Chains A and B, each alone.
Chain A
């Protein structure tokens, strides 16, 4: 274990908060992207897509 001196708790706590917050942000972005892609895929499976919308506008 690295010896970080008498204030080791403050140093580890800083790095732990950093890791937690960044892991939370990354996790949220990945989860949000996967959820949106799944919902778009569900719409696409029902025949609702950007192409069908464009075709509907043209007709």
Chain B
């Protein structure tokens, strides 16, 4: 007679979504991700400053593109990650999805700010102004405010579960900004140039400038994932700390309550 395994079967996502397993896996993976990110970023800097040629119109200011474009992509990717995590939290109610959404917000905000700041510094010598209220710049600014809104909303609510749910709803509603940012340069007449890398008919940038940009984007993407992993690990530790502190307080109350009653 054969024995049957009665333990509930877990899917791969359920196994990976276990916080303890995530801590083990991320602890191993994070140093490799960070190391690969550092190596790629250093290589991208070498390509940007010593290999890439000047642009025939923009001259040396094209070097700003190697950090501006990855920042803009990662600012948007951060919000897409929040939206996916929010969906996972609202539908599957897994706390690790909420941890992911919370950890992605400050990172997305940082990269969105960097896209705006470097874009502004690129705009002054090329357009003659640091800022113009055109659709691409304004929609990126709204994305930054959405990040601030998510962080402010979470910090304003003490109940962690309620804060997670409300932030997940805002995260999903706010994702509508992403197609607006992407297509803003097509839908409206903007000072910002149209897409030149992610296009249906292929990139229009010369390969000598495209290659450093791709290396830079890969490097900063790996850095984003390493930082996101670190942020998630910190949040898991914070929740463990809070749970243990609450348990200790409850235990102390349980001990002191009869004494107080006596």
| A interface residues with partner B (beta carbon < 8 Å) | 2, 4-8, 10-11, 13-15, 17-18, 21-22, 25-26, 29-30, 32-33, 36-37, 39-40, 43, 48-50, 53, 56
Interface positions, chain B 82-141, Cβ under 8 Å from A, are 106-107, 110, 113-114, 117-118, 121-122, 124-125
Residue B179 lies at the interface, judged by CB distance under 8 Å to chain A: no
- Mask of B9-53 contacts with A, CB within 8 angstroms, 1/0: 000000000000000000000000000000000000000011000
* Interface mask (B213-239 → A, CB under 8 Å = 1, otherwise 0): 000000000010001001101100110
A14 in contact with B64 given A21-B114, A22-B110, A25-B227 (CB within 8 Å): yes
Contact of B190 with A by CB under 8 A: no
Closest to B64 in A: A14
A14 touches B237 (CB 8 A): no
> A10 CA to B124 CA in the complex, in Å?
8
Q: Is the CB of B241 within 8 A of A48?
A: no
B162 on interface, CB distance cutoff 8 Å: no
- Please list 24 pairs of residues, one from A and one from B, whose beta carbons are closer than 8 Å in the complex, sorted by A's number: A2-B49, A5-B60, A7-B125, A10-B121, A10-B122, A11-B63, A14-B67, A14-B68, A14-B117, A14-B121, A18-B114, A29-B227, A29-B231, A32-B234, A36-B241, A37-B237, A39-B241, A40-B240, A43-B241, A43-B245, A43-B248, A48-B244, A53-B244, A56-B251
Name A2's closest neighbour in chain B (CB-CB).
Answer: B49
Tell me whether A43 and B60 are in contact (CB under 8 A).
no
Interface of A (DSSP majority class):
helix
Give the nearest-CB partner of A7 in chain B: B125
In the bound complex, what is the Cα–Cα distance between A13 and B111 (angstroms)? 16
Q: Which residues of A contact B59 (CB under 8 A)?
A: 5-7
From B227, B233, B240, B248, contact of A26 by CB (8 A): B227
Could you tell me the distance between the alpha carbons of A14 and B119 in the complex, rounded to whole angstroms? Answer: 9
B251 & A15 in contact (Cβ 8 Å cutoff): no
Residues on A with beta carbons closer than 8 Å to the beta carbon of B223:
22
Give Cα A7 to B64, complex, Å: 11
Give chain B residues whose Cβ lies under 8 Å from the Cβ of A14: 64, 67-68, 117-118, 121-122
User: Which of chain B's residues have a CB closer than 8 A to the CB of A7?
Assistant: 59-61, 125
B71: interface (CB < 8 Å): yes
**Cβ contact within 8 Å between B230 and A29:** yes
Give the residues in chain A near B230, CB-CB below 8 Å.
29-30, 33
> A50 contacts B60, CB within 8 Å?
no
Chain B proximity of A37: nearest CB distance (Å): 7
- Residues of B152-204 at the interface with A, using a CB-CB cut-off of 8 Å, are none
Residue from the set A11, A22, A37, A39 with the largest chain B CB neighbour count within 10 Å = A11
